[in-house]
Amino acid sequence: MTRAPKPLRVLVVAPSRYPLRQPHAGGLEATVWDRVRWLRDRGHEVTLCAAEGSDFLEDSPEFALPAPTWSRVEDASDTGYPEGYAEATATAHATLLERLRSERHRFDVIDNHSLHPAPIRWSRDAGIPVVTTLHTPPLEPMLRAAAYARGSAHRFVAVSQATARAWSTEGVDAFVFPNGIDTDRWTRGPGGSRWVWSGRIVPEKAPHLAIEAARAVDAEIVVAGRIGDVDYFHQEVAPRLGGNARYVGALHQPDLCRLVGTSAVALVTPMWEEPFGLVIAEALATGTPVAAFDIGGGSEVLAGMPGTAAVMAGDVTALAHAARDLALQGRREPLTRVWTRRAAVREHALSRRYRDVERVLAHTAQPATERQVPAVSW
């Protein structure tokens, strides 16, 4: 990899609910983990602010944030927090702000991916330029922070047109830079006969509908991912396992790549306005075709890609037939996997995405007097 002509000193702020390490808790964590690694490979001086236990924190333990600790596994949730966690996080962010104020010349720019409002305010409170990537639909605390930061050295970017539109209606304008994947790590596989579903096991991603679709046409399916809602798993997923459906847990990236790459088709079943849909790009990079619900940012990932089919969200019958047709097409024409992989590399390769992000970071880091002409062609 070629190195950046002018290295930046970047503080990358990750979401703090889960540590940044494999197996990744979700697509957001995977994206930020890749971002840190890519920026460092490009020669930038990167410091990570993330939950305790994250990779890359060895050189900056002072930027570790508290991670939620659950007294019972069944209480763990992707939406709530244990008692006392909000106060601990607020204290940690306040301590970090004081450090940034006293060490503001240590960083050129903050690359913010947190879902907490505090890092958004740092462009004004700490006087350090901030680029905030919007990975979710609008969240009220983040909206208030964005209003507070208005007029400071701050840029917002969104992972999809759908996400940008949602934030724009709330008064926050963002440039669109879709997520990328490391296509050197997501390699083409030989395909196989079974179907696959991967992602967080939560109601809004609806893996139970993927199992229903596979069952409708007597196809075998493997479900992989971290359980983010224990009640949902036990009520909707576990009763559907057995026979044609198997759950293999959360996998490290090499194992997940192998599973997806040896599958006939990948199913993606969001029942909400998902901001991006990283699993779509990951599957396509392995050459595995994707049958998905046509909703949210995932529709943009699918657009114009070979080896894909989009059906109305919630239509299990249509999903089953679309997946079956893609699997049959792959068996009849093996080169389909080559074409699918080639298109995924062209559209979703991390290097293609991040060079634009790098330019935005560099432009935002410039003094206001030099920030007259955008460094990126929007």
Mean pLDDT across 199-221: 98
pLDDT at 98 over 80: yes
Residue 355 — pLDDT band, cuts 50, 70, 90?
Answer: confident
Q: Which fold has domain 195-348?
A: Rossmann fold (3.40.50)
Closest CA to 291 of 185, 216, 187, 180: 216
pLDDT at 113 over 60: yes
What tens digit of pLDDT does each residue of 259-288 get?
A: 999 999 999 999 999 999 999 999 999 999
Mean pLDDT across 155-181: 95
Residue 142 — pLDDT band, cuts 50, 70, 90?
Answer: very high
pLDDT at 35 over 50: yes
Q: Does CATH place domain 9-180+349-370 in 3.40.50.2000?
A: yes
pLDDT at 342 over 60: yes
Report the C-alpha gap between 216 and 214 in whole angstroms: 5
Residue 69 — pLDDT band, cuts 50, 70, 90?
Answer: confident
Tokens 């004081």: give the residue. 98
Task: Quickly list H helices, the chain.
Answer: 27-41, 85-102, 118-125, 140-149, 161-168, 207-216, 230-232, 253-261, 278-285, 298-302, 316-332, 335-348, 350-365
Domain with CATH 3.40.50.2000 in the chain: 9-180+349-370, 195-348
